[in-house]
Amino acid sequence: MSENRVAVVTGSNQGIGFATVQELCAKFEGSVYLTARSEERGLAAVEELKKLGLQPKFHQLDINDESSVLKLRDHLKDTYGGLDVLVNNAAILLPFKEGLSDEVFAEHAKTTMQTNYFDTQRVCKILFPILKPHARVVNLSSMLGHLTQITGEDSVELKAKLSSPYLTYEELDGLMQNFVDSAQKGEHTKYGWPATGYYTTYNVSKIGVSAMTRIQHRDFERDSREDIIINHVHPGYVNTQMSEYRGVLTIEKGAVAPSWLALLPPNVQEPKGLFVWCDKTIVDWVKGPMPPLD
């Protein structure tokens, strides 16, 4: 039975994804796939883990490329009859540094939303049909994806839409697209989105990932397959390329909550569809409060 179980971590040639693969190799009963958009970087990362006595497998996966996701799906279906664990870790952050133009902000909005929200959603839409009963899905969000990151008087209506228990994929896609389109004209704040700043485009994309997780949770509650659980997680402020190596946690610490969620035992009651902090506590995604950083 365990021979046929399989776990996949997207974007895992470095950072939190890499450490999550390491943790899963030690604790998951089944095959663990390290995936990377670059075969070269992926295979090098696999070699690093092999030196530690671990046995990750490798598959190429670029979430920006539909055919790459489809190839992975077919491989999982043919080899394992489906998928048991999916950690949606791959993401980008394009900081809006001082001196950059409005045009660059608009481009960042488009590119970031495409990878972090739309292409992560596409991975889910392609791989969810092959999830097996008791599967676990973990979406890497961020404290910067917490709903309270949207501030300002004009944002009350927007926050109500994003947190609605009736929100649909179509409505959420429309809201995310509205951010991208309004950012092209420098008009995003008119619609309640946060003002242009260092993390704004990343913020909004991760708010999208978190709002999407709540929709996906509702869908799994109605799914005919038994006990499929999804959660979204803030892994902590982690020392990776994304944080420009300023994060306070090691990648191993950053992988603690994501891998715990990936390994939730069968038929647990909680967490389900919830926003989980790096110390494994559950945080109300709508109201907060968020715990202090450390």
- Triad 19, 25, 29: Cα angle to 5°: 140
Cα separation, 178 vs 157, in Å, equals: 14
The C-alpha atoms of residue 140 and residue 90 are separated, in whole angstroms, by 8
Catalytic position from the list 117, 198, 202, 245: 198
Site string for ligand NAP, 208-247 (x = CB under 6 A): --------------------------xx-xx-xxxx---x
User: 258: closest CA among 93, 137, 122?
Assistant: 137
Residue 263 has which token pair? 């390994």
Among 60, 64, 111, 163, binds ligand NAP (CB under 6 A): 64
CB of 37 to ligand NAP, least distance (A): 4
Give the interface size with ligand NAP as a residue count (CB under 6 A).
Answer: 31
| Site membership for ligand NAP, residue 200 (CB under 6 A) | no
List, in order, residues 6 or more apart from 49 with CB less than 8 Å away. 18, 21, 22, 25, 34, 56
Active-site annotation holds for 198: yes
> In this chain, which stretch among 5-13, 128-136, 175-183, 191-199 interacts with ligand NAP, using CB under 6 A?
5-13
Q: Is 235 or 271 the residue whose CB approaches ligand NAP more closely? A: 235
DSSP, res 179: H
Closer to ligand NAP by Cβ: residue 39 or 102: 39
Output the smallest distance, CB 119 to ligand NAP, in A.
6
Pair 279, 237: CB distance under 8 Å:
no
Residue 30 CB coordination number (10 Å) = 15
Helix (H, G, I), strand (E, B) or coil at 133: strand
CB-nearer residue toward ligand NAP: 75 or 132 = 75
Residue with CB nearest ligand NAP?
15
Q: How far apart are CA 94 and CA 107, in angstroms?
A: 10
The token duo for 6 is 């399989």
Task: Using CB under 6 A, pick the residue from 5, 23, 56, 62 that binds ligand NAP.
Answer: 62
Catalytic residue list: 198
* Residues of this chain that bind ligand NAP (CB under 6 A): 10-11, 13-17, 36-38, 41, 61-64, 89-92, 115, 140, 142, 234-235, 237-238, 240-243, 247
